[in-house]
Amino acid sequence: MPVSLPPRARLALGAGRAAAAASRLLRRGRGQVVGGRVMLKVDPALITRLAAGKQLTLVSATNGKSTTTRMIAGALRTKGRVAHNLTGANMGPGVVTALAADRAAGFGAIEVDEAHLPAMAAQTGATQLVLMNLTRDQLDRGSEVKMLSRRWHAMAEQLSDKTIILANADDPLVVWAARPAPSVVWVGCGQWWTDDAALCPECGATLERAADGTGIAPWRCPACGLARPQTAWSITPDATGIVTPDGTTLTPHLKLPGRVNVGNAAIAVAAAAGRGIDPAVALAACEQVEDVDGRYINTTVDGHPVRLLLGKNPASWAEMLRIVGTSGAALVTVLNARGQDGRDPSWIWDVPFEQLAPMPVWVSGERRFDLAVRLDTAGLELRGVTEDPLAGLAGLPAGEAVDIVANYTAFQELRARVVK
Ligand SMILES: [Zn+2]
């Protein structure tokens, strides 16, 4: 049952709903953020009030938080109703909107922006925090990864033993951040992108890491001894299985591609198990997740099967390149550099495009010439540099499959065009 609310909170809910409805009428979007902002203006304590009595799981990471939150929500739904910020609005207004949308839900699976996690953890009193990875993302506007790690570390120091952290043992920045918490479940989710975690977060020495390519290799600091913790859960070295605490290996058959999603499923299943859900049941729910806000979506454009992939920073592009490098589909890459993307696109020089050479590629987006220079340098064959990302499709044999990797705003525009 939902907790009873004081008059101010009820007023806030009403005002928020009215603002959201007005925003939708004016076609300014889906209304969640506007409605949530109004709610918090009227009652700044509303998040705390609405969170009371719910079993809340907050999920944060640079990459994979929307997907993992969706997996956890699916698993929790096997036990009851779940409040969930489906649209990825992941700061205060989005969180309050999600909690207000289903006040009777006994569970919550809430994605939270990395910088806002400490405040949201304090306000909600969430009993599970899922911490996955911290890598460079939109550096010219976001916080530096080390600063985010320090904020999470300070949060963990304040937690009581009522809150359990589930943390990725393969990201040194996450391990260092989570370690002060009284209760941590370590999950080997894998970390293949290690460029942002070369140095020890504790003392600054260069970390030693076995370069076996598995993503779950042990790492340690030779100076202070910080090291990959013993894991309760882990993916297998080939990233095709999830090993549970009793040693059973589950084999995921995910609809989502790539090894990162096996890692996402591993920590989602671990979180669900913490709520008393059988791992096999939780995994079955994770397997049903198909697309996340249009990411990974399969559609058809002019008779070509098209898959849309989001590559928003070096780590996520690196994973997408692995997926497209083995798919056999024609590749279109799209780069913008607007505010939401980060205005400085120089990070594309950190993406290991060389691994795709000499694959043919079509290049598009507002910063297509920057990207074309990068891909040409990497040894890919430029088939076309076009303003319209879909222009190259006309020259392909009928029915040939196409993968499109685009960064944030380019992805959103494409999704609006190709997803009916
Ligand atoms: Zn160290």
Distance 179 CA to ligand 1 centre (A): 14
Residue 27, C-beta contacts closer than 8 angstroms, at least 6 positions apart: none
User: How far is CA 233 from each of CA 39, 73, 169, 192, 328, rounded to the nearest angstrom?
Assistant: 39, 19, 10, 17, 33
Judgement on whether residues 252 and 389 belong to the same structural domain of the protein: no
Regarding whether 357 and 236 lie in a shared domain, the answer is no
User: What is the SS3 assignment for 118?
Assistant: helix
Distance 220 CA to ligand 1 centre (A): 8
| 171-200 mean pLDDT | 95
The answer to whether residues 343 and 267 belong to one domain is no
Give the pLDDT band of residue 379 (cuts 50, 70, 90).
very high
CATH of residue 358: 3.90.190.20
Is 60 exceeded by the pLDDT of residue 140? Answer: no
Question: Could you tell me if 211 and 101 lie in one domain?
Answer: yes
188: CA distance to ligand 1 center in Å?
20
Query: What is the CA(221)–ligand 1 centre distance, in A?
Result: 5
Q: How far is the CA of 99 from the centre of ligand 1 (A)?
A: 40
Quickly state the pLDDT bin for 30 (edges 50, 70, 90).
Answer: low
Instruction: Give residue 229 CA to ligand 1 midpoint distance, Å.
Output: 14
Residue 5, domain member (yes or no): no
Cα 227 to ligand 1 centroid, rounded to whole Å:
9
Q: Assess whether 222 and 319 both reside in one domain.
A: no
**Could you tell me what percent of the chain has a pLDDT over 90?**
80
Region of poorest pLDDT, from 68-72, 219-223, 264-268, 390-394: 390-394
What pLDDT score was predicted for residue 366?
96
pTM for the structure as a whole: 0.91
Query: Is there a domain that residue 160 lies in?
Result: yes
What is the pLDDT confidence band of residue 131, given thresholds at 50, 70 and 90? very high
Please indicate, yes or no, if residue 24 is contained in any of the structural domains.
no
Q: Is the peptide bond before 222 cis (omega within 30 degrees of 0)?
A: no
Percent of the chain with pLDDT over 70: 97
User: Is pLDDT above 90 for 173?
Assistant: yes
Query: 28 pLDDT exceeds 70?
Result: no
If you average pLDDT over residues 25-34, what whole number do you get? 71
What is the rounded average pLDDT for all residues in the chain?
93
Ligand 1: distance of its center to the CA of 216 in Å?
A: 19
Q: Based on the domain organization, do 67 and 200 belong to the same domain?
A: yes
Please indicate, yes or no, whether residues 106 and 249 belong to a single structural domain of this protein.
yes
CA of 390 to the centre of ligand 1 (A): 48
Same domain, 78 and 162: yes
pLDDT at residue number 419: 80
pLDDT confidence of residue 251: 98
Ligand 1 geometric centre to CA of 176 (Å):
10
Q: In degrees, to the nearest 5, what angle opens at C-alpha 237 toward C-alphas 235 and 238? A: 95
Q: Which of 240, 260, 287 is at the close of a domain?
A: 287
3-state secondary structure of 293: coil
How close is the Cα of 204 to the center of ligand 1, in Å?
A: 6
Q: Is residue 106 part of a domain?
A: yes
Distance (angstroms) between ligand 1 centre and the Cα of 174 equals 14
CA of 135 to the centre of ligand 1 (A): 19
> Mean pLDDT, to the nearest integer, of 2-10?
88
- Looking at mean pLDDT, say which of 237-251, 280-294, 390-404 comes out highest: 237-251
CATH at residue 245? 3.40.1190.10
**Separation of CA 163 and ligand 1 centre (Å):** 27
Q: How far is the CA of 385 from the centre of ligand 1 (A)?
A: 46
pLDDT in tens, 40-97: 999 999 999 999 999 999 999 999 999 999 999 999 999 999 999 877 789 999 999 9
- Ligand 1: centre distance to CA 137 (Å): 24
Closest CA to 71 of 294, 282, 309: 282
Query: Which domain-ending residue is among 287, 314, 330?
Result: 287
pLDDT at 335: 97
Distance 226 CA to ligand 1 centre (A): 6
Residue 146 lies in a domain: yes
Is the domain of 170 the same as that of 130? yes
Residue 6 counted as domain residue: no
183 Cα: distance to centroid of ligand 1 (angstroms): 22
Residue 26 lies in a domain: no
> Rounded CA gap, 158 and 165, in Å?
12
Q: Do 277 and 367 sit in the same domain of this protein?
A: no
Measured in angstroms, how far is the CA atom of residue 199 from the centroid of ligand 1?
Answer: 8
CA atoms of 17 and 325, how far apart (whole Å): 46
Residue 290 dihedral angles phi and psi, to the nearest 5° = -110, -55
What would the pLDDT profile of 207-234 be if each residue is shown by its tens digit?
999 888 899 999 999 999 999 999 999 9
Measured in Å, residue 315 CA sits from the centre of ligand 1 at: 23
- For ligand 1, the distance from its centroid to the CA atom of residue 252, given in whole angstroms, is 35
pLDDT digits (tens, 9 = 90+) for 68-79: 999 999 999 999
Among the three residues 287, 307, 327, which one is the final residue of a domain in this structure?
Answer: 287
pLDDT beyond 90 at 163: yes
Rounded to the nearest angstrom, the distance between the alpha carbon of 207 and the centre of ligand 1 is: 7
Tell me: do 66 and 92 sit in the same domain: yes
355 secondary structure, DSSP code: G
Same domain, 278 and 340: no
| Whole-number Å distance between alpha carbons of 321 and 319 | 5
Give the domain extent around 413. Answer: 298-418
Q: Is the Cβ–Cβ distance between 54 and 83 less than 8 Å? A: yes
Residue 231 located in a structural domain: yes
Number of domains in the chain: 2
Find the 205 Cα to ligand 1 centroid distance in Å. Answer: 5
